[in-house]
Copies of this chain bind each other. A is one copy, B any other.
Amino acid sequence: MTLSVAIAGASGYAGGEVLRLMAAHPELEVRTVTAHSNAGQPLIDVHPHLRSYADLELRETTAETLAGHDIVVLALPHGASGAIAAELPDDVLVLDCGADHRLTSEAAWQRFYGGEYHGAWAYGLPELIHVDGTRQREKLVGARRVAVPGCNVTAVSLGLVPGIRAGVIEAHDTTAALAVGPSGAGRTLRTDLLASELLGSAAPYAVGGVHRHIPEILQNVALAGAADASISFTPVLVPMARGILATVTARLAPGVDEAGLRAAWVDAYADEPFVHVLPAGRFPTTASAVGANTALIGLALDADAQRAVIVVALDNLVKGTAGAAVQSLNLALGLPETLGLPVNGVAP
């Protein structure tokens, strides 16, 4: 079986990473790539690292060019995928790497994004635990419309959910500060994303509860049973191309000790192929996750501060985007969940 794939928005970083991962997937063949301003160019001109696609050319992003494939991946700016998706047949697997179909609350959509609301699709974070103990992966089996999570959301949700569901931390009054690489912002011409600005600098943005990933985190936490969740969320751009290092803290539930705390995450991820809890006293670096579809988690109990500290490292373009898309695709189509996905990072 070889499944045919089209990628819309293939000239960006998310699209490029989907291409990189799919090149190593035994059941997939990317046949069509589209872009906006780069249409007509060889793909390799915009992604010179993707030698295996030396023969592909970028085409216009239209429903026609995307038609006739088993799988369509949308790697477009938010607001752009709703209309395109509506034109694609129901039996085509469509994965949206953008934000258009992540939020189940139209009110949250309107507050954080605005514009037409297109409804929520099956949410592509397989490891997410629901209050009843089931995993989100069950919702992905057989799905034909998948919303790939936001990269920061994946990091923070994987960090918070096991503890909340196990009752060892509170969902109320959590905090997350993230060191993030600029590739998460896309191949966008903005002054603050210039190398001269970011080299040698750490730069916060969307400070004070305004980042669009906040409602998505709270939505995930709510699925784990938290009614009163809240989070102070601050991303900080740092000079590394890729990677998210999320420092998440949460109030300890009364009476929790170190062993009880740790057990919540260890148990939750014991059978997960892509999420790993490090031994006590060890904490992950983003370098350990770069290029891999893994999320690495370190845990500590701060008795003085009465908070748990959960540090999560992942590659925003892999486990945070393109790897999540491929993992969800595997589940949707009944393929082995880990098929074609790298578990080893590229370090140093």
Stretch of A96-104, A132-140, A339-347 contacting B (4+ beta carbons < 8 Å): A339-347
Contact A49 B230 (CB under 8 A): no
Give every chain B residue within 8 A of A16 (Cβ-Cβ). Answer: 347
B181 and A343 contacting across the interface, CB-CB below 8 Å: no
- For residue A86, CB closer than 8 A to chain B, the reply is no
Instruction: Determine which of B179, B201, B251 lies in contact with A202 in the assembled complex, contact meaning CB atoms within 8 Å.
Output: B179
Binary per-residue interface labels of chain A (161-175) against chain B in the complex, 1 for a CB within 8 Å, 0 otherwise = 000000000000101
* Minimal beta-carbon separation of A182 from chain B (angstroms): 5
A300 CB contact (under 8 Å) in B13, B189, B208, B241: B208
Are A196's CB and B348's CB within 8 A? yes
A271 to B289, CA, bound (A): 34
Taking the closest CB of chain B, its distance from the CB of A39, in whole angstroms, is 16
CB contacts under 8 Å to B, within A180-238, are: 181-183, 185, 187-191, 193-205, 207-209, 214, 230-234, 236, 238
Shortest distance between the CB of A30 and any CB in chain B (Å): 12
Query: A283 with B207: in contact, given A199-B195, A239-B199, A309-B232 (CB under 8 Å)?
Result: yes
Of the candidates B198, B205, B286, B301, which one forms a contact with A195 in the assembled complex, judged by CB atoms under 8 Å apart? B198
A87: Cβ under 8 A from any B Cβ: no
Q: Interface readout for A56-72 with B: 1 if CB under 8 Å, 0 if not?
A: 00000000000000000
Q: How far is the CA of A182 from the CA of B190 in the complex (A)?
A: 15
Distance between A266 CB and nearest chain B CB, rounded to angstroms:
14
Residue in contact with A177 in the complex, picked from B209, B214, B243, B247, CB distance below 8 Å: B247
Q: Which of A117-125, A291-299, A326-334 contacts B (4 or more CB under 8 A)?
A: A291-299
Q: Which chain B residue has the least Cβ–Cβ distance from A318?
A: B346
0/1 per residue, A255-288, Cβ < 8 Å to B?
0000000000000000000001010001111111
22 contacts between A and B (CB under 8 A): A51-B343, A52-B343, A173-B173, A175-B175, A175-B177, A175-B305, A177-B234, A177-B247, A179-B238, A181-B199, A187-B191, A193-B194, A200-B200, A201-B288, A201-B290, A201-B348, A208-B309, A209-B300, A209-B303, A230-B306, A232-B309, A291-B291
